[in-house]
């Protein structure tokens, strides 16, 4: 208690700085999940992708980031073990943020697409199990989260598989693929608009004082989906192509239509990613702020301070702008050859999965979700379409991530204890 009351401002500033560093790492590494397929399919240039991501990542993190934050903050470790020594929780969360931030910096520099969720959960479990007690870790919750890392890529892969097959059957396998694209693509656009509107309305707007019932949320999201559908119909209807061109040129023109759609899905995925993964940075910060401001009391449910979400949102944007290119290249070009239609299927599937997870408060890995979606698209074309060597390297980097976060977190935890004389 004495340490917290003596160093309260110092502890909050340290936690805020390291949370910002962690959020910076999320932007540098994980935003490739939103933009990699768009850049890899050449639907967007790297510069366009970064500008779009900066806008929608910030919006997702700020408007819809609160739900998952609560899971990270109070679900993984048992707060009862910290009641008599709340400073240990504070040191642990600060150390976990620093550890995860360092690992993401290293991985991003090397171009490895790792899981920020793995990083922070590994770091939290590491300091709690070794620095406090193995019993302080809610292993059942951890196993549930680990299970989600298997289930969500499968869900995303299946959704991507069926979206891609539907596009193949409805558009590419038809006699006049260009005419079919003009007919069906607006429906895909409307679906994307509906998904992204739904999470904003049901989970995001309450943070800015607007509340809707579930029914009202679905109605409003449906209306937005219809507006997106109409706008898409108008935009695609204005495209002019030579009807006398050969079939190969028709396919090229269809991909141009899907390139328009990729802009919508890129926005959706960036928003969904921001809403879900900002929790990895601000969850531990929220825990520190709660404990310090209450003078060492560990409450069951802490109010999120107004400035916490912007710290994460701004950090993500800066990380993307400064170091995001390396991992975007790995995701966009390494796993399988992407065209706008394939990238669209992967992105919409991943966005839908992440939005569902964000709404239920489950801290999934967006990296694994997107890789699952891209694998689903590749599998729809046959196993030979996948670069299995790159997939293996990505999986190995995931395996390394959890212990790397844990080991660094333990080291920083003991350094902080010694520095503050605990």
pLDDT for position 70: 60
Would the pLDDT of 407 be above 90? yes
Of 63-72, 317-326, 353-362, which one has max mean pLDDT? 317-326
pLDDT tens-digit profile of 95-120? 999 999 999 999 999 888 888 888 99
Separation CA 289–CA 129 (nearest Å): 22
Q: What angle do CA 24, 322, 121 make, to 5 degrees?
A: 25
pLDDT for position 303: 63
pLDDT for position 398: 79
C-beta of residue 340 within 8 angstroms of C-beta of residue 41? yes
Q: Look at 4-8, 143-147, 206-210, 276-280 and tell me which has the smallest mean pLDDT.
A: 206-210
Separation CA 278–CA 271 (nearest Å): 11
Separation CA 98–CA 106 (nearest Å): 12
Separation CA 42–CA 225 (nearest Å): 26
Q: How confident is the model at residue 21 (pLDDT cuts 50, 70, 90)?
A: very high
pLDDT for position 205: 60
Provide the mean pLDDT of the chain: 83
Answer positive or negative: Cα dihedral of 148, 113, 397, 403.
Answer: negative
Q: What angle do CA 326, 327, 333 make, to 5 degrees?
A: 95
Separation CA 6–CA 295 (nearest Å): 10
Which run of H or E residues covers position 228? Answer: helix 214-237
CA distances from 33 to 65, 320, 378 (A): 17, 11, 16
C-beta of residue 72 within 8 angstroms of C-beta of residue 123? no
Separation CA 313–CA 318 (nearest Å): 9
pLDDT for position 15: 95
C-beta of residue 103 within 8 angstroms of C-beta of residue 119? yes
pLDDT tens-digit profile of 282-324? 888 888 888 888 877 776 555 677 788 888 889 998 998 888 8
Answer positive or negative: Cα dihedral of 136, 363, 21, 26.
Answer: positive
| Eight-state DSSP code of residue 245 | S
Separation CA 121–CA 126 (nearest Å): 8
- 3-state class percentages of the chain: helix first, strand second, coil last, to nearest 5: 80, 0, 15
Count CA atoms closer than 13 A to 155's CA, side-chain side.
Answer: 18
Tokens of 41: 């399919």
Q: Rounded to the nearest 5°, which phi and psi values hold at 386? A: -95, 140
Q: How confident is the model at residue 207 (pLDDT cuts 50, 70, 90)?
A: low
C-beta atoms surrounding 381 within 10 Å: 14
pLDDT for position 75: 72
Q: Which residues contact 15 (CB under 8 A, 6 or more apart)?
A: 90, 93, 94, 97, 284, 285, 288, 289
pLDDT for position 302: 56
Would the pLDDT of 202 be above 70? no
> In the predicted model, what is the mean pLDDT of residues 58-72?
69
Q: How far is CA 69 from the centre of its chain?
A: 13
pLDDT for position 192: 80
Q: Which residue has the higher pLDDT, 213 or 315?
A: 315
Separation CA 203–CA 145 (nearest Å): 21
Q: Taking the C-alpha atoms of 258, 262, 264 and 270 in order, what is their torsion angle to the nearest 10 degrees? A: 170
Separation CA 90–CA 413 (nearest Å): 9
Would the pLDDT of 206 be above 60? no
Which run of H or E residues covers position 27? Answer: helix 8-29
Separation CA 117–CA 124 (nearest Å): 11
């Amino acid at each position: 208690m004495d340490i917290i009351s003596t160093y309260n401002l110092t502890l909050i500033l340290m936690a805020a700085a390291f949370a910002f560093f962690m959020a910076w790492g999320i932007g540098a590494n994980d935003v490739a999940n939103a933009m990699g397929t768009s850049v890899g399919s050449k639907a967007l240039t790297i510069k366009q992708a970064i500008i779009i991501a900066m806008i929608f990542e910030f919006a997702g993190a700020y408007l819809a980031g609160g739900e998952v934050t609560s899971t990270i903050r109070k679900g993984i470790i048992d707060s009862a073990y910290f009641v008599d020594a709340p400073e240990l929780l504070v040191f642990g969360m600060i150390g976990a943020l620093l550890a995860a931030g360092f690992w993401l910096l290293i991985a991003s520099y090397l171009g490895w697409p790792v899981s920020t969720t793995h990083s922070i959960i590994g770091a939290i479990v590491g300091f709690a199990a070794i620095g406090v007690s193995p019993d302080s870790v809610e292993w059942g919750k951890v196993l549930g989260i680990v299970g989600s890392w298997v289930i969500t890529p499968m869900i995303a892969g299946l959704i991507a598989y069926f979206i891609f097959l539907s596009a193949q059957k409805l558009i590419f396998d038809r006699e006049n693929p260009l005419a079919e694209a003009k007919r069906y693509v607006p429906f895909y656009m409307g679906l994307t608009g509906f998904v992204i509107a739904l999470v904003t309305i049901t989970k995001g707007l309450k943070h800015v004082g607007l509340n809707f019932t579930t029914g009202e949320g679905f109605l409003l999201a449906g209306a937005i989906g219809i507006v997106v559908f109409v706008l898409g119909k108008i935009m695609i209807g204005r495209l002019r192509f030579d009807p006398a061109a050969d079939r190969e040129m028709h396919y090229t023109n269809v991909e141009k239509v899907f390139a328009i759609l990729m802009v919508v899905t890129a926005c959706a995925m960036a928003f969904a990613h921001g809403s879900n993964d900002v929790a990895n940075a601000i969850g531990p910060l929220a825990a520190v702020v709660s404990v310090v401001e209450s003078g060492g009391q560990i409450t069951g449910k802490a109010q999120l301070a107004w400035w916490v979400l912007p710290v994460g949102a701004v950090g993500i944007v800066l990380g993307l702008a400064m170091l995001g290119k390396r991992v975007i290249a790995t995701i966009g070009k390494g796993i399988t050859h992407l065209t706008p239609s394939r990238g669209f299927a992967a992105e919409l599937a991943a966005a839908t999965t992440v939005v569902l997870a964000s709404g239920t408060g489950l801290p999934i890995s967006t990296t694994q979700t997107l890789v699952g979606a891209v694998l689903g698209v590749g599998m729809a074309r046959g196993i030979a379409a996948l670069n299995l060597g790159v997939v293996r390297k990505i999986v190995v980097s995931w395996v390394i991530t959890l212990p790397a976060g844990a080991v660094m977190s333990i080291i920083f935890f003991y350094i902080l204890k010694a520095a503050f004389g605990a």
